[in-house]
């Protein structure tokens, strides 16, 4: 009994790894340019796109999206994320030529983390390998780390979601192995901001010394009113919705959920920055700083309605509000 007890305990917690089949996931990203019309103004972006099946789709000069593709992997899987060597347009002049993929918050070797100033990181295409451990479920940003002040702003970012797998190797609809984190629906909210002056400046322009964002996005959309939200989800009453907040913005921000009457609604945060909180936190307001993430669950009530998850973007200097961007959940 003494020998088997620890194994039974691990199984009961869902932590036994011997029966969970890990996968190897190979993905390729290319880089393309695109334009977005934001508040009536056309802004040029650079975005990653999934070119795992070859260069097709948008081809060499197009096809980028902002944010780039959201990549889902399992805890225990091995991700081989390749930045295609043919992705070299658009780019800046030397010394800021090329691009990389930085896996923000991931436990990887230095030569896998896409920081060009460190050893072993090429800017002309590379493969980045990451095998997240059990217990590292959650949301992680990825972004280009070449002349980051410019390339991040240009739209070279998205997210990797690390999900738990069941004993058959299938993704579980839980934030991690904890049954309390089960959900019925999920959405990824990528927070980002846009200073159009950064989109035309290059090299060591003094423009990059002063950040004045004009546009405020949730997963690439403006969503300036509850009538035209950036994200919509048709859910059902009594169900649970997982929201994954990923801070790719360059300002402060506060996330809240309100009903049609403006009343704050509680949500429970289970994971911050890729690690489970020792004690889940049920709150009505959550600050998200650049680079931070939160994986949370909203329990919808027993009567039908509409709730508006929303992000207030705020100035770094004095926290004054710039703008509110809305999502929408109907049930």
In whole angstroms, how close is the CB of 95 to Cu ion at the nearest point? 13
Min dist. Cβ of residue 125 to Cu ion (A): 12
Residue number with CB closer to Cu ion (115 or 299): 115
In the complex, residue closest to Cu ion by CB = 144
Binding site for Cu ion (CB under 5 A): 99, 144, 146, 151, 156
Shortest Å distance, C-beta 271 to Cu ion: 28
Q: Residue 69, SS3?
A: coil
Helix (H) or strand (E) holding 80: strand 78-83
Residue among 99 and 265 whose Cβ is closer to Cu ion: 99
Looking at beta carbons only, is 101 or 191 nearer to Cu ion?
Answer: 101
The least CB distance from residue 98 to Cu ion, in Å, is 7
Dist. CA 73–CA 65, nearest whole Å: 20
- Quote the CA–CA distance of 222 and 228 in Å, as a whole number: 9
Closest listed residue to residue 181, CA positions, set 223, 139, 237: 139
Distance (Å, whole) CA 278 – CA 269: 11
CB atoms < 10 A from the CB of 110, how many? 10
Q: Write down the least CB distance from residue 69 to Cu ion, Å.
A: 16
d(CA 242, CA 300): 11
* Distance from C-alpha of 189 to C-alpha of 294, rounded to nearest angstrom: 10
151/272 with CB nearer Cu ion: 151
Cβ(319)–Cβ(252) below 8 Å: yes
Q: Which is nearer to Cu ion, 87 or 242 (CB)?
A: 87
CB-CB contact of 218 with 255 (8 Å): no
Least Cβ distance, residue 32 to Cu ion (angstroms) = 12
Closest CA to 23 of 103, 78, 88: 78
User: Which is nearer to Cu ion, 143 or 328 (by Cβ)?
Assistant: 143
């Amino acid at each position: 009994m003494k020998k088997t007890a620890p194994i039974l305990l691990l199984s009961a917690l869902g932590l036994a790894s011997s029966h969970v089949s890990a996968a190897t996931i190979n993905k390729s990203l290319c880089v393309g340019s695109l334009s977005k019309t934001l508040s009536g103004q056309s802004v040029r972006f650079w975005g990653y796109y999934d070119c795992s099946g070859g260069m097709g789709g948008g081809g060499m000069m197009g096809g980028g999206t902002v944010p780039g593709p959201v990549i889902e992997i399992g805890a225990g899987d091995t991700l081989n994320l390749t930045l295609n060597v043919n992705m070299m347009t658009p780019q800046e002049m030397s010394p800021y030529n090329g691009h990389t993929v930085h896996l923000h918050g991931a436990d990887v070797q230095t030569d896998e983390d896409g920081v060009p100033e460190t050893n072993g990181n090429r800017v002309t295409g590379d493969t980045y390998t990451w095998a997240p451990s059990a217990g590292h479920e959650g949301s992680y940003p990825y972004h280009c780390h070449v002349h980051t002040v410019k390339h991040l702003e240009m739209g070279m970012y998205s997210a990797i979601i690390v999900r738990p797998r069941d004993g058959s190797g299938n993704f579980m609809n839980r934030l991690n192995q904890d049954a309390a984190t089960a959900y019925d629906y999920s959405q990824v909210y990528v927070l980002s901001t846009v200073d159009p002056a950064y989109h035309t400046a290059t090299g060591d322009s003094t423009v990059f010394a002063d950040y004045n964002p004009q546009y405020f996005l949730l997963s690439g959309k403006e969503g300036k009113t509850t009538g035209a939200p950036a994200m919509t989800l048709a859910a059902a009453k009594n169900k649970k919705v997982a929201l994954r907040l990923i801070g790719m913005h360059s300002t402060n921000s506060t996330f809240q959920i309100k009903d049609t009457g403006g009343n704050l609604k509680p949500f429970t945060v289970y994971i911050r920055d890729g690690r489970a909180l020792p004690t889940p936190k049920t709150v009505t307001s959550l600050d998200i700083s650049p680079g931070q993430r939160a994986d949370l669950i909203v329990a919808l009530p027993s009567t039908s309605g509409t709730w508006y998850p929303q992000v207030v973007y705020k100035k770094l200097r004095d926290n004054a509000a710039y703008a509110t961007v809305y999502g929408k959940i109907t049930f």
